[in-house]
Amino acid sequence: MERHVLTLDETTCRRRTSVKWRAHGEDVLPMWVAEMDVLPAPSVAEEMERITRDGDFGYPVPADYLESVARWYRDAGAPADPGRMRLVPDVMTGVQAAIAALTDPGDPVYVTVPVYPPFHSVVRAAGRQLVAVPLTPTGRLDVPALSRHFAGDPGRGAVLLSNPHNPTGTVPTATELASLAETARTHGVGIISDEVHAPLVLPGASFTSITAIPAAERALAVLSAAKGWNLAGLKAAAVLAGPGSAGSLTGVPEDLGHHASHVAMRVQSAALDDGRDWLADLVADLDANRSLLQELLADLPSALWSPGEATYLAWLDLRGTGLGEDPAAALLGRGRLALNSGLPFGAGEGFARLNFAASPEVLQEGVRRLASVAGA
Protein backbone atom coordinates (compact mmCIF):
# COMPACT_ATOMS: atom_id res chain seq x y z
CA MET A 1 0.00 0.00 0.00
CA GLU A 2 1.20 3.50 -0.82
CA ARG A 3 2.49 5.58 2.07
CA HIS A 4 1.73 9.28 2.59
CA VAL A 5 4.31 10.39 5.16
CA LEU A 6 6.30 7.32 6.21
CA THR A 7 8.35 7.49 3.05
CA LEU A 8 11.80 8.69 4.13
CA ASP A 9 14.74 6.64 2.95
CA GLU A 10 17.51 5.58 5.29
CA THR A 11 20.15 7.86 3.73
CA THR A 12 18.00 10.95 4.36
CA CYS A 13 17.33 9.88 7.95
CA ARG A 14 21.05 9.32 8.57
CA ARG A 15 21.64 13.05 8.12
CA ARG A 16 19.77 13.57 11.40
CA THR A 17 21.67 14.34 14.58
CA SER A 18 19.07 13.01 17.06
CA VAL A 19 19.79 10.06 19.33
CA LYS A 20 17.97 7.50 17.18
CA TRP A 21 20.48 8.02 14.38
CA ARG A 22 23.57 8.90 16.40
CA ALA A 23 23.70 6.32 19.19
CA HIS A 24 25.03 3.50 16.98
CA GLY A 25 27.36 3.07 14.01
CA GLU A 26 26.32 3.57 10.38
CA ASP A 27 25.94 -0.17 9.89
CA VAL A 28 23.23 -0.42 12.56
CA LEU A 29 19.59 0.01 11.54
CA PRO A 30 17.93 1.98 14.37
CA MET A 31 14.38 0.86 15.21
CA TRP A 32 14.40 1.70 18.90
CA VAL A 33 13.74 5.08 20.60
CA ALA A 34 10.33 6.71 19.92
CA GLU A 35 11.26 8.99 17.03
CA MET A 36 9.56 8.66 13.66
CA ASP A 37 11.13 8.71 10.20
CA VAL A 38 8.89 11.51 8.94
CA LEU A 39 9.27 15.05 7.69
CA PRO A 40 7.28 17.61 9.70
CA ALA A 41 3.60 18.34 9.09
CA PRO A 42 3.24 21.34 6.72
CA SER A 43 1.75 23.49 9.51
CA VAL A 44 4.76 22.68 11.70
CA ALA A 45 7.29 23.49 8.98
CA GLU A 46 5.49 26.76 8.17
CA GLU A 47 5.43 27.86 11.79
CA MET A 48 9.14 27.05 12.18
CA GLU A 49 9.86 29.15 9.08
CA ARG A 50 7.73 32.02 10.34
CA ILE A 51 9.46 31.96 13.73
CA THR A 52 12.88 32.04 12.06
CA ARG A 53 11.86 34.76 9.60
CA ASP A 54 10.44 36.96 12.37
CA GLY A 55 13.14 36.17 14.94
CA ASP A 56 10.29 35.12 17.24
CA PHE A 57 12.56 33.39 19.78
CA GLY A 58 11.47 35.15 22.97
CA TYR A 59 9.60 34.16 26.12
CA PRO A 60 6.20 32.48 25.97
CA VAL A 61 2.59 33.57 26.42
CA PRO A 62 1.16 30.23 27.63
CA ALA A 63 -2.54 30.87 27.00
CA ASP A 64 -2.53 30.13 23.26
CA TYR A 65 -0.80 26.78 23.75
CA LEU A 66 -3.17 25.71 26.52
CA GLU A 67 -6.11 26.66 24.26
CA SER A 68 -4.69 24.41 21.53
CA VAL A 69 -4.37 21.51 23.98
CA ALA A 70 -7.93 22.15 25.22
CA ARG A 71 -9.31 22.19 21.64
CA TRP A 72 -7.54 18.92 20.87
CA TYR A 73 -9.01 17.30 23.99
CA ARG A 74 -12.50 18.60 23.34
CA ASP A 75 -12.35 17.13 19.83
CA ALA A 76 -11.27 13.86 21.46
CA GLY A 77 -14.39 13.95 23.67
CA ALA A 78 -12.89 15.25 26.92
CA PRO A 79 -14.27 18.39 28.60
CA ALA A 80 -10.97 20.33 28.70
CA ASP A 81 -10.56 23.92 29.84
CA PRO A 82 -7.33 25.97 30.06
CA GLY A 83 -8.49 26.99 33.55
CA ARG A 84 -7.86 23.40 34.64
CA MET A 85 -4.38 23.11 33.14
CA ARG A 86 -0.77 23.79 34.04
CA LEU A 87 2.01 24.36 31.57
CA VAL A 88 5.08 22.15 32.13
CA PRO A 89 8.30 21.72 30.12
CA ASP A 90 7.72 18.13 29.01
CA VAL A 91 5.59 15.09 29.68
CA MET A 92 7.87 13.38 32.19
CA THR A 93 8.23 16.60 34.20
CA GLY A 94 4.43 16.72 34.19
CA VAL A 95 4.26 13.13 35.43
CA GLN A 96 6.80 13.95 38.14
CA ALA A 97 4.77 16.99 39.22
CA ALA A 98 1.56 14.93 39.23
CA ILE A 99 3.19 12.30 41.46
CA ALA A 100 4.27 15.04 43.86
CA ALA A 101 0.78 16.56 43.82
CA LEU A 102 -1.20 13.36 44.41
CA THR A 103 1.08 11.35 46.71
CA ASP A 104 3.40 11.77 49.70
CA PRO A 105 6.94 10.43 50.09
CA GLY A 106 6.87 6.69 50.78
CA ASP A 107 3.42 6.22 49.22
CA PRO A 108 2.93 3.44 46.69
CA VAL A 109 2.84 4.35 43.01
CA TYR A 110 1.44 1.50 40.93
CA VAL A 111 2.88 1.01 37.45
CA THR A 112 1.40 -1.48 35.01
CA VAL A 113 4.34 -3.45 33.65
CA PRO A 114 5.79 -3.77 31.11
CA VAL A 115 5.87 0.02 30.80
CA TYR A 116 7.99 2.93 29.50
CA PRO A 117 11.22 2.69 31.57
CA PRO A 118 11.23 6.32 32.87
CA PHE A 119 8.01 5.48 34.75
CA HIS A 120 10.14 3.29 37.02
CA SER A 121 12.86 5.89 37.54
CA VAL A 122 10.52 8.85 38.06
CA VAL A 123 8.73 7.01 40.89
CA ARG A 124 11.99 5.99 42.57
CA ALA A 125 13.52 9.46 42.20
CA ALA A 126 10.45 10.93 43.88
CA GLY A 127 11.04 8.72 46.92
CA ARG A 128 7.79 6.84 46.35
CA GLN A 129 7.42 3.06 46.58
CA LEU A 130 7.32 1.47 43.12
CA VAL A 131 4.68 -1.26 42.96
CA ALA A 132 4.69 -3.16 39.66
CA VAL A 133 1.31 -4.65 38.72
CA PRO A 134 1.50 -6.73 35.52
CA LEU A 135 -0.89 -6.15 32.64
CA THR A 136 -3.14 -9.09 31.80
CA PRO A 137 -1.77 -11.70 29.35
CA THR A 138 -3.50 -9.76 26.54
CA GLY A 139 -1.75 -6.55 27.60
CA ARG A 140 -4.75 -4.86 29.20
CA LEU A 141 -5.12 -3.12 32.57
CA ASP A 142 -5.70 -5.71 35.29
CA VAL A 143 -8.29 -3.72 37.22
CA PRO A 144 -9.10 -6.52 39.73
CA ALA A 145 -5.38 -6.90 40.60
CA LEU A 146 -4.95 -3.12 40.94
CA SER A 147 -8.06 -2.99 43.10
CA ARG A 148 -6.64 -5.67 45.44
CA HIS A 149 -3.46 -3.61 45.83
CA PHE A 150 -5.48 -0.45 46.54
CA ALA A 151 -7.59 -2.30 49.13
CA GLY A 152 -4.44 -3.59 50.84
CA ASP A 153 -2.99 -0.09 51.30
CA PRO A 154 -5.93 2.33 51.19
CA GLY A 155 -6.01 6.09 51.46
CA ARG A 156 -2.74 6.86 49.76
CA GLY A 157 -0.70 6.54 46.60
CA ALA A 158 -1.55 6.71 42.92
CA VAL A 159 -1.61 4.55 39.81
CA LEU A 160 0.44 5.78 36.86
CA LEU A 161 -1.05 4.89 33.46
CA SER A 162 0.37 5.04 29.97
CA ASN A 163 -2.83 5.72 27.99
CA PRO A 164 -2.32 4.47 25.24
CA HIS A 165 0.17 1.99 26.59
CA ASN A 166 3.85 2.07 25.70
CA PRO A 167 5.10 -0.59 24.81
CA THR A 168 2.10 -2.86 24.06
CA GLY A 169 0.03 -0.29 22.15
CA THR A 170 -3.15 -1.20 24.02
CA VAL A 171 -5.75 1.53 24.59
CA PRO A 172 -7.78 1.35 27.81
CA THR A 173 -11.50 1.49 27.07
CA ALA A 174 -13.88 3.95 28.74
CA THR A 175 -15.32 0.99 30.65
CA GLU A 176 -11.90 -0.12 31.92
CA LEU A 177 -11.03 3.43 32.97
CA ALA A 178 -14.40 3.89 34.69
CA SER A 179 -13.97 0.72 36.73
CA LEU A 180 -10.39 1.68 37.61
CA ALA A 181 -11.61 5.14 38.66
CA GLU A 182 -14.39 3.63 40.80
CA THR A 183 -12.01 1.41 42.73
CA ALA A 184 -9.41 4.18 43.03
CA ARG A 185 -12.07 6.49 44.46
CA THR A 186 -13.34 3.82 46.85
CA HIS A 187 -9.84 3.19 48.21
CA GLY A 188 -8.56 6.77 48.11
CA VAL A 189 -5.93 6.26 45.40
CA GLY A 190 -5.05 8.90 42.77
CA ILE A 191 -4.69 8.37 39.00
CA ILE A 192 -2.05 9.85 36.72
CA SER A 193 -2.59 9.28 33.01
CA ASP A 194 0.26 9.94 30.58
CA GLU A 195 -1.66 10.57 27.35
CA VAL A 196 1.22 11.58 25.06
CA HIS A 197 0.44 8.74 22.62
CA ALA A 198 -3.28 9.61 22.40
CA PRO A 199 -3.06 11.20 18.92
CA LEU A 200 -1.69 7.87 17.65
CA VAL A 201 -4.73 5.67 18.19
CA LEU A 202 -5.13 3.48 15.08
CA PRO A 203 -8.35 2.36 13.33
CA GLY A 204 -10.28 -0.11 15.46
CA ALA A 205 -9.79 1.61 18.82
CA SER A 206 -10.71 4.94 20.36
CA PHE A 207 -9.07 7.09 22.98
CA THR A 208 -10.65 8.04 26.31
CA SER A 209 -8.94 10.57 28.53
CA ILE A 210 -9.00 10.01 32.26
CA THR A 211 -10.29 13.60 32.46
CA ALA A 212 -13.53 12.42 30.78
CA ILE A 213 -14.25 9.85 33.51
CA PRO A 214 -16.52 11.39 36.19
CA ALA A 215 -15.42 8.92 38.92
CA ALA A 216 -11.78 9.99 38.49
CA GLU A 217 -11.91 12.63 41.22
CA ARG A 218 -8.22 12.67 42.16
CA ALA A 219 -6.72 12.42 38.72
CA LEU A 220 -4.41 14.26 36.35
CA ALA A 221 -3.54 13.73 32.68
CA VAL A 222 -0.45 14.87 30.79
CA LEU A 223 -0.28 15.62 27.05
CA SER A 224 2.05 17.16 24.51
CA ALA A 225 2.30 17.00 20.72
CA ALA A 226 5.73 15.38 21.01
CA LYS A 227 4.77 11.84 19.96
CA GLY A 228 1.89 12.48 17.57
CA TRP A 229 3.80 14.99 15.47
CA ASN A 230 7.37 13.82 16.20
CA LEU A 231 8.41 16.95 18.10
CA ALA A 232 10.36 15.51 21.04
CA GLY A 233 13.02 18.19 20.64
CA LEU A 234 10.49 20.99 21.17
CA LYS A 235 9.78 20.99 24.88
CA ALA A 236 6.34 21.92 26.20
CA ALA A 237 3.48 19.91 27.71
CA ALA A 238 0.32 20.38 29.74
CA VAL A 239 -0.97 18.75 32.92
CA LEU A 240 -4.75 18.81 33.08
CA ALA A 241 -7.63 17.89 35.32
CA GLY A 242 -11.24 16.98 34.55
CA PRO A 243 -14.24 19.04 35.74
CA GLY A 244 -14.53 16.92 38.88
CA SER A 245 -10.82 16.73 39.66
CA ALA A 246 -9.70 20.37 39.42
CA GLY A 247 -8.49 20.24 43.03
CA SER A 248 -5.83 17.72 41.97
CA LEU A 249 -3.99 20.55 40.18
CA THR A 250 -3.42 22.53 43.36
CA GLY A 251 -0.11 20.84 44.07
CA VAL A 252 1.29 21.31 40.55
CA PRO A 253 3.45 24.45 40.73
CA GLU A 254 2.58 27.17 38.23
CA ASP A 255 6.22 28.21 37.88
CA LEU A 256 7.11 24.89 36.18
CA GLY A 257 5.71 26.55 33.06
CA HIS A 258 8.65 28.96 33.00
CA HIS A 259 10.82 26.08 31.78
CA ALA A 260 8.73 25.42 28.67
CA SER A 261 9.95 26.83 25.37
CA HIS A 262 8.11 29.54 23.45
CA VAL A 263 9.18 28.02 20.11
CA ALA A 264 7.96 24.62 21.25
CA MET A 265 4.57 25.98 22.25
CA ARG A 266 4.09 27.85 18.97
CA VAL A 267 5.06 24.82 16.91
CA GLN A 268 3.06 22.35 18.98
CA SER A 269 0.00 24.62 18.60
CA ALA A 270 0.51 24.57 14.83
CA ALA A 271 0.52 20.76 15.04
CA LEU A 272 -2.47 20.38 17.36
CA ASP A 273 -4.62 22.97 15.55
CA ASP A 274 -3.57 22.71 11.91
CA GLY A 275 -1.76 19.39 11.64
CA ARG A 276 -4.81 17.12 11.80
CA ASP A 277 -4.81 16.14 8.10
CA TRP A 278 -1.14 15.22 8.33
CA LEU A 279 -1.88 13.20 11.47
CA ALA A 280 -4.67 11.33 9.64
CA ASP A 281 -2.18 10.44 6.88
CA LEU A 282 0.35 9.31 9.47
CA VAL A 283 -2.21 7.15 11.26
CA ALA A 284 -3.16 5.53 7.93
CA ASP A 285 0.52 4.78 7.27
CA LEU A 286 1.01 3.35 10.76
CA ASP A 287 -2.06 1.17 10.26
CA ALA A 288 -0.55 -0.09 6.99
CA ASN A 289 2.79 -0.72 8.70
CA ARG A 290 1.05 -2.59 11.48
CA SER A 291 -0.38 -4.96 8.83
CA LEU A 292 2.93 -5.19 6.99
CA LEU A 293 4.80 -6.07 10.18
CA GLN A 294 2.24 -8.74 10.95
CA GLU A 295 2.71 -10.23 7.46
CA LEU A 296 6.50 -10.14 7.73
CA LEU A 297 6.51 -11.74 11.17
CA ALA A 298 4.23 -14.53 9.97
CA ASP A 299 7.34 -15.98 8.31
CA LEU A 300 9.24 -15.89 11.60
CA PRO A 301 7.40 -18.17 14.04
CA SER A 302 9.91 -17.59 16.86
CA ALA A 303 8.84 -13.90 17.04
CA LEU A 304 5.36 -13.48 18.47
CA TRP A 305 3.42 -10.23 18.39
CA SER A 306 -0.10 -9.15 19.30
CA PRO A 307 -0.57 -6.01 17.17
CA GLY A 308 -1.41 -2.98 19.28
CA GLU A 309 -4.33 -0.58 18.97
CA ALA A 310 -2.18 2.56 19.03
CA THR A 311 1.38 3.90 18.72
CA TYR A 312 4.14 2.71 16.42
CA LEU A 313 5.68 0.42 19.01
CA ALA A 314 5.66 -3.36 18.70
CA TRP A 315 6.29 -5.39 21.84
CA LEU A 316 7.89 -8.52 20.44
CA ASP A 317 7.89 -11.78 22.35
CA LEU A 318 11.23 -13.31 21.34
CA ARG A 319 11.34 -15.98 24.04
CA GLY A 320 11.11 -18.64 21.35
CA THR A 321 14.28 -17.47 19.60
CA GLY A 322 16.73 -18.91 22.09
CA LEU A 323 18.38 -15.48 22.38
CA GLY A 324 18.02 -15.41 26.16
CA GLU A 325 16.57 -12.78 28.44
CA ASP A 326 17.86 -9.83 26.38
CA PRO A 327 17.36 -10.60 22.68
CA ALA A 328 17.97 -6.93 21.78
CA ALA A 329 21.63 -7.35 22.79
CA ALA A 330 22.10 -10.28 20.39
CA LEU A 331 20.19 -8.49 17.61
CA LEU A 332 22.44 -5.47 17.94
CA GLY A 333 25.64 -7.46 18.13
CA ARG A 334 24.95 -10.06 15.45
CA GLY A 335 22.18 -8.51 13.36
CA ARG A 336 23.19 -4.81 13.44
CA LEU A 337 19.59 -4.00 14.37
CA ALA A 338 18.86 -1.67 17.31
CA LEU A 339 15.64 -2.42 19.20
CA ASN A 340 14.86 -1.47 22.80
CA SER A 341 15.71 -4.16 25.31
CA GLY A 342 12.61 -5.41 27.10
CA LEU A 343 14.39 -5.56 30.45
CA PRO A 344 14.03 -1.92 31.64
CA PHE A 345 10.26 -2.06 30.97
CA GLY A 346 9.71 -4.60 33.76
CA ALA A 347 8.37 -8.10 33.04
CA GLY A 348 10.31 -7.89 29.77
CA GLU A 349 12.65 -10.88 29.90
CA GLY A 350 12.86 -12.29 26.37
CA PHE A 351 11.05 -9.28 24.86
CA ALA A 352 12.19 -6.35 22.75
CA ARG A 353 10.42 -3.20 21.50
CA LEU A 354 10.48 -2.39 17.79
CA ASN A 355 9.61 1.04 16.38
CA PHE A 356 7.72 0.67 13.09
CA ALA A 357 7.38 4.39 12.27
CA ALA A 358 9.54 3.94 9.20
CA SER A 359 9.18 3.41 5.46
CA PRO A 360 8.09 -0.06 4.29
CA GLU A 361 11.62 -0.59 2.94
CA VAL A 362 13.24 0.15 6.31
CA LEU A 363 10.66 -2.02 8.06
CA GLN A 364 11.37 -4.91 5.66
CA GLU A 365 15.11 -4.54 6.18
CA GLY A 366 14.59 -4.48 9.96
CA VAL A 367 12.63 -7.72 9.91
CA ARG A 368 15.22 -9.26 7.57
CA ARG A 369 17.92 -8.46 10.15
CA LEU A 370 15.70 -9.77 12.93
CA ALA A 371 15.17 -13.02 11.06
CA SER A 372 18.87 -13.38 10.27
CA VAL A 373 19.55 -13.74 13.99
CA ALA A 374 16.23 -14.87 15.49
CA GLY A 375 15.40 -17.32 12.73
CA ALA A 376 18.85 -18.84 12.56
Which residues contact ligand PLP (rule: CB under 6 A)? 34, 90-92, 116, 162, 166, 194, 196, 224, 226, 232, 237
Q: Considering the complex, what minimum distance in angstroms separates the CB of residue 264 from ligand PLP?
A: 10
Q: Other C-beta atoms within 10 Å of 21: how many?
A: 18
Residue 197 or 369 with smaller CB distance to ligand PLP: 197
- Sequence-separated (6 or more) residues with CB below 8 Å from residue 221: 163, 192, 193, 194, 195, 209, 210, 211, 239, 240, 241, 242
Q: Other C-beta atoms within 10 Å of 38: how many?
A: 22
Q: Considering the complex, what minimum distance in angstroms separates the CB of residue 334 from ligand PLP?
A: 27
Residue 18 or 364 with smaller CB distance to ligand PLP: 18
Q: Considering the complex, what minimum distance in angstroms separates the CB of residue 255 from ligand PLP?
A: 18
Residue 147 or 229 with smaller CB distance to ligand PLP: 229
Residue 43 or 166 with smaller CB distance to ligand PLP: 166
- Sequence-separated (6 or more) residues with CB below 8 Å from residue 164: 170, 171, 172, 197, 198, 200, 201, 207, 308, 309, 310, 311
Q: Considering the complex, what minimum distance in angstroms separates the CB of residue 33 from ligand PLP?
A: 7
Q: Considering the complex, what minimum distance in angstroms separates the CB of residue 256 from ligand PLP?
A: 13
Separation CA 171–CA 310 (nearest Å): 7
Q: Mind giving me the DSSP string for 78-106?
A: ----GGGEEEESSHHHHHHHHHHHH--TT
Residue 68 or 321 with smaller CB distance to ligand PLP: 68
Q: Considering the complex, what minimum distance in angstroms separates the CB of residue 54 from ligand PLP?
A: 26
Instruction: Evaluate whether 58 touches 262 at the Cβ level (below 8 Å).
Output: yes
Q: Considering the complex, what minimum distance in angstroms separates the CB of residue 163 from ligand PLP?
A: 9
Residue 224 or 321 with smaller CB distance to ligand PLP: 224
Q: Considering the complex, what minimum distance in angstroms separates the CB of residue 339 from ligand PLP?
A: 14
Q: Considering the complex, what minimum distance in angstroms separates the CB of residue 145 from ligand PLP?
A: 21
Residue 335 or 346 with smaller CB distance to ligand PLP: 346
- Sequence-separated (6 or more) residues with CB below 8 Å from residue 20: 30, 32, 33, 35
Residue 147 or 166 with smaller CB distance to ligand PLP: 166
- Sheet of 340-341, strand order: 313-317, 351-355, 340-341
The kind and range of the H/E element at 205 are: none
Nearest to 373 by CA among 342, 328, 341, 343: 328
Instruction: Evaluate whether 51 touches 263 at the Cβ level (below 8 Å).
Output: yes
Separation CA 229–CA 136 (nearest Å): 30
Residue 171 or 374 with smaller CB distance to ligand PLP: 171
Separation CA 87–CA 262 (nearest Å): 11
Cα angle 74, 248, 142; round to 5: 80
